[in-house]
């Protein structure tokens, strides 16, 4: 397979099979692509199981079994002029068996200048693997290279952790003279292999090589902080504590963060801004671009919002990121909105809650990833995504009590190519809400609950709303939510469109109102129900939805008289009612006879193995 110029693409449960002696049969090769997820795959071939070429960004490879073959490779890089940076590759929970190589990064000598950064290989099992870990900046498969001229591909921020190998063979780390390396290694528990080539060029070009060391390693972390000899200034690592930030939980670090960000934003090479472990007070800030190169904001500590809401500018958000390209937010840190003091206000009938800050705003970002971050106890929405293109949320945790009002987990509007995956959302409102102008939204492997479920809408409240096109919710689990999956529009609405919405392979545990289309949505009973919604809904499917429901009505489809639903399909719905009294279960034929020609359908919990379309 070859993946070129793709955005937000998922390959899951793919099998690739060729003999071990089949030449040049790479399993999956990718280049110039952003947001590619590969999981639960089996790759047996005669070359690289997976090869990652230039321009690859935010690539996640998980639960892949490789072998036979040549292993998993980043590269080879540097063979051609004008290669694009490789940024953000994570290979995790994979197994390699009988492969010639394990995991490797390879660049050609005598190469043009380029960048590969933020590469992480974690929790990998290797069985009978040759060369388990390789960084080779003198890669030359046919011995026709100018090896005396060093590679100019800058490799940085690389980690190998939790690698378990029974190989007992070589580990080689050979960096470039042209872009000198410094290495930090952490060694723990027992593991057994020999490093036979450990060649790092210092800034004075003194080399240490062929150091044979027997290491007992369970987690080897190689953080390659590369500094070019040609660069005498321009550090790529910006620690906010070096700019005056204090981890005392009281001193506002806003200015320190903004100063560090300004320095990173001006850097012509990939940079990292770091908030180290600890507890920090952070006021309202806007972190913005455009910047000269990709930046990773690494939050390792807990940052806390002010409790006093009078200090916030209305509708500006607590922490806003805007006008950025190739931005990464990561670090396993926590953004604590400290919203407990405001949740009791009358949000539903006043404009009070609209003035409260959203924890994290992402405005007009492109080709970016938010991963390994927690949003806690926001005063209003946790995360708002506006005007973004190709942004991925990976392993994001959102948490607030179920009685916290208006604390939607992630709200999306006027954005295209948004991926939310491998995340947990526990809150007091919608786990995910999808507003107008949302296109190609992919929500997979999300655990939702408590909360109000996953919603498209509400739509039709305002004039000139943009169409909603291409929503996929798949392989998600909802637990103890007040709604399941739903599409909702206001009555008496302007014209609008929502199409290609698919909810598949969903597990529901004790969910009220599991499946809903509601074109008479009116939360405060202040609508004109006599005038129908004019939002046109079409091409909607609910398939393979199973579990338990606490309400007698499992499927409630209320479409508009003014713009009837088209092409709505339900199939393989298996929901068991667990309330005090189970109702008699009608059969599929009766339901189709009674409701198939009408705009509304109301189904009690039942086993629906065939499909209903209308």
Q: Could you list the active site residues?
A: 70, 452
Other beta carbons within 10 angstroms of residue 537's beta carbon come to: 28
Where are any strands of DSSP class E within 389-467?
389-394, 397-399, 410-413, 416-426, 432-434, 439-448, 454-459
108, 76 Cβ separation under 8 angstroms: yes
Tokens representing 235 are: 């550090």
Q: Which of 609, 558, 613, 557 is nearest to 585 (CA)?
A: 609
In the block, residue with structure tokens 């060694």:
187
Cα 324 to Cα 126: distance, rounded to the nearest angstrom: 38
Tokens representing 156 are: 């940085």
Which CA distances in Å does 452 have to 124, 302, 429, 479? 37, 27, 5, 10
Give backbone dihedrals phi and psi of 24, rounded to 5 degrees, phi first. 60, 30
Tokens representing 543 are: 């398939």
422, 453 Cβ separation under 8 angstroms: no
Q: Which of 235, 305, 326 is nearest to 274 (CA)?
A: 235
Q: Which of 296, 434, 300 is nearest to 370 (CA)?
A: 296
Positive or negative CA dihedral for 187, 190, 191, 192? positive
Q: Which residues of 150-174 are buried (b: 16+ CB within 10 A; e: fewer)?
A: bbbbbbbbbbbbbbbbebebbbbbb
Give backbone dihedrals phi and psi of 58, rounded to 5 degrees, phi first. 55, 60
The SS3 call for residue 336 is strand
CB hemisphere CA count around 535 (13 angstroms): 34
Tokens representing 485 are: 């999956």
Strand 432-434 and strand 410-413: pairing? parallel
Strand 566-577 and strand 607-613: pairing? antiparallel
SS percent in the chain: helix, strand, coil, step 5 = 5, 50, 45
Which CA distances in Å does 59 have to 92, 118, 217, 595? 11, 11, 26, 46
* Torsion angle defined by CA atoms of residues 96, 102, 103 and 104, in that order, rounded to the nearest 10 degrees: -160
Q: Which residues of 451-469 are buried (b: 16+ CB within 10 A; e: fewer)?
A: bbbbbbbbbbbeeebebbb
Q: Greatest CA separation found in the chain?
A: 84
* Residues 6+ positions from 603 with CB-CB distance below 8 Å: 553, 554, 555, 556, 570, 573, 591
The residue length of the chain stands at 614
Query: What 8-state DSSP symbol labels residue 354?
Result: G
Cα 482 to Cα 511: distance, rounded to the nearest angstrom: 6
Cα 225 to Cα 401: distance, rounded to the nearest angstrom: 41
User: Over the Cα atoms of the chain, what is R_g?
Assistant: 26
């Amino acid at each position: 397979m070859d993946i070129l110029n793709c955005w937000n693409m998922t390959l899951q449960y793919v099998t690739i099979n060729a003999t071990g002696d089949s030449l040049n049969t790479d399993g999956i090769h990718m280049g110039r692509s952003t947001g590619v997820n590969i999981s639960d795959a089996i790759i047996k071939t005669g070359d690289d199981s997976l090869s990652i070429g230039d321009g690859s960004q935010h690539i996640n490879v998980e639960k892949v079994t490789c072998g036979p073959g040549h292993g998993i490779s980043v590269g080879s890089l540097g063979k051609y002029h004008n290669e694009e940076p490789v940024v953000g590759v994570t290979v995790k929970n994979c197994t390699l068996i009988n492969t010639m190589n394990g995991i490797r990064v390879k660049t050609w000598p005598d190469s043009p200048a380029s960048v590969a950064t933020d590469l992480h290989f974690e929790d990998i099992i290797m069985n009978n693997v040759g060369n388990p870990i390789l960084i080779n900046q003198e890669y030359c498969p046919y011995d026709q290279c100018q090896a005396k001229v060093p590679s100019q591909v800058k490799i940085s921020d690389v980690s190998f952790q939790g690698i378990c190998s029974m190989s007992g063979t070589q580990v080689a780390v050979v960096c470039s003279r042209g872009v000198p390396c410094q290495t930090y290694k952490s060694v723990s528990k027992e593991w057994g292999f020999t490093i036979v080539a450990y060649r790092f060029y210092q800034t004075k070009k003194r080399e240490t090589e062929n150091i044979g060391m027997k290491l007992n390693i369970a987690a080897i972390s190689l953080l390659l902080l590369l500094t070019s000899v040609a660069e005498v200034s321009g550090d790529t690592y910006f620690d906010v504590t070096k700019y005056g930030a204090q981890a005392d939980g009281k001193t506002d670090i806003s200015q320190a963060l903004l100063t560090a960000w300004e320095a990173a934003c001006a850097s012509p090479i990939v940079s990292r801004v770091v908030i180290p472990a600890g507890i920090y007070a952070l006021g309202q800030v806007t972190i913005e671009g455009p910047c000269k190169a990709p930046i990773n904001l690494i939050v390792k500590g807990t940052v806390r919002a002010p409790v006093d809401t009078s200090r916030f500018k209305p509708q500006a958000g607590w922490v806003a990121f805007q006008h950025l390209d190739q931005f990464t937010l990561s670090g396993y840190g926590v953004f604590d909105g400290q919203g407990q003091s405001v949740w009791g206000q009358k949000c539903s009938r006043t404009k009070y809650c609209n003035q409260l800050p959203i924890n994290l705003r992402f405005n007009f970002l492109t080709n970016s990833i938010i991963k390994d971050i927690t949003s806690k106890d926001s005063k209003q929405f946790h995360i708002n995504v506006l005007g973004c293109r190709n942004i991925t949320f990976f392993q994001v945790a959102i948490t607030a009590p179920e009685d916290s009002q208006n604390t939607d987990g992630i709200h999306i509007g006027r954005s295209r190519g948004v991926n939310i995956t491998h995340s947990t959302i526990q809150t007091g409102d919608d786990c995910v809400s999808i507003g107008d102008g949302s296109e190609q939204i992919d929500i997979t492997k999300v655990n939702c609950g408590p909360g109000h479920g996953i919603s498209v809408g509400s739509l039709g409240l305002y004039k000139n709303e943009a169409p909603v096109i291409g929503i996929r919710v798949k392989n998600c689990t909802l637990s103890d939510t007040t709604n399941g999956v739903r599409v909702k529009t206001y009555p008496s609405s302007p014209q609008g469109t929502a199409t290609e919405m698919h909810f598949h392979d969903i597990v529901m545990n004790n969910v009220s109102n599991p499946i809903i289309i509601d074109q008479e949505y009116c939360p405060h009973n202040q609508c004109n129900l006599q005038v129908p919604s004019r939002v046109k809904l079409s091409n909607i499917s609910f398939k393979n939805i199973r579990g338990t429901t606490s309400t007698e009505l499992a499927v409630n489809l209320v479409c508009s008289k003014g713009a009837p639903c088209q092409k709505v399909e339900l199939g393989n719905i298996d929901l068991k009612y667990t309330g005090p009294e189970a109702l008699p279960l009608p059969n599929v034929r009766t339901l189709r006879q009674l409701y198939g020609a009408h705009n509304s359908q109301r189904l009690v919990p039942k086993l629906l193995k065939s499909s209903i379309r209308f």
